[in-house]
Amino acid sequence: MARIFYDCEFIEDGTTIELVSLGAVDEAGREFYAISRSFDPMRAGPWVRKNVLDKLPPSADPAWCSRLQIREDFYAFVTAGGGEVELWAWNAPYDHVVIAQLWGAMPDLPRAMPRFTRDMRQRWDDVGRPTLPPAPQDAHDALADARHNLAKWEVIDARWRELGMDRVQRTG
């Protein structure tokens, strides 16, 4: 089972969620980073402007690309190993919606893409909230946050194993 830890930065207004950037890392050290050329920065609120948009590289940076290119490249990243994949994110619901919307309607999501993202925040609660690594200096950069998610996972997973949760049989 391959695990991919990711983070999305986005603009949302309670009705729509618009991708700004996507960062992902796996346990083997591979990384993915892309910034959408399609989002409307004028829709961003003050928090997103200050904490996300102001930290993006210049638009000439190769990380900037179309949503179609992000979709194709992220799909290639996720499916590169050819086996089963788990997606993991911190407070995952919005992130998963942003990812799924790269394909449009839910039925258009390719079979090889996971249908949900596992929530690291819930797993952290399950293991008693161990102390996690501090947020990086470049927090709210999607790739920095994805790397931080992997670092948090290592603490959470170690605690999971310490508690013997890895030996619990799944039922149902």
Q: Confirm whether residue 7 is marked as ligand binding.
A: yes
Query: What is the pLDDT averaged over residues 59-72?
Result: 97
Q: Per-residue pLDDT for 98 more than 90?
A: yes
pLDDT at 105 over 90: no
Q: Is the pLDDT of residue 107 over 60?
A: yes
> Which residue is associated with the tokens 């992000």?
70
Cβ(94)–Cβ(6) below 8 Å: no
CB under 8 Å to 93, separation ≥6 — which residues? 117, 119
Report which residue type is found at 96.
Answer: H
- Which DSSP state fits 139? T
Q: What percentage of the chain carries pLDDT values higher than 90? A: 88
Question: Do 124 and 149 contact (CB within 8 A), yes or no?
Answer: no
pTM value is 0.93
Select the more confidently predicted residue: 36 or 169. Answer: 36
Domain range annotation of the chain: 2-167
Q: Using 50, 70 and 90 to split pLDDT, how confident is the model at 171?
A: very low
Fold annotation for 2-167: Nucleotidyltransferase; domain 5 (3.30.420)
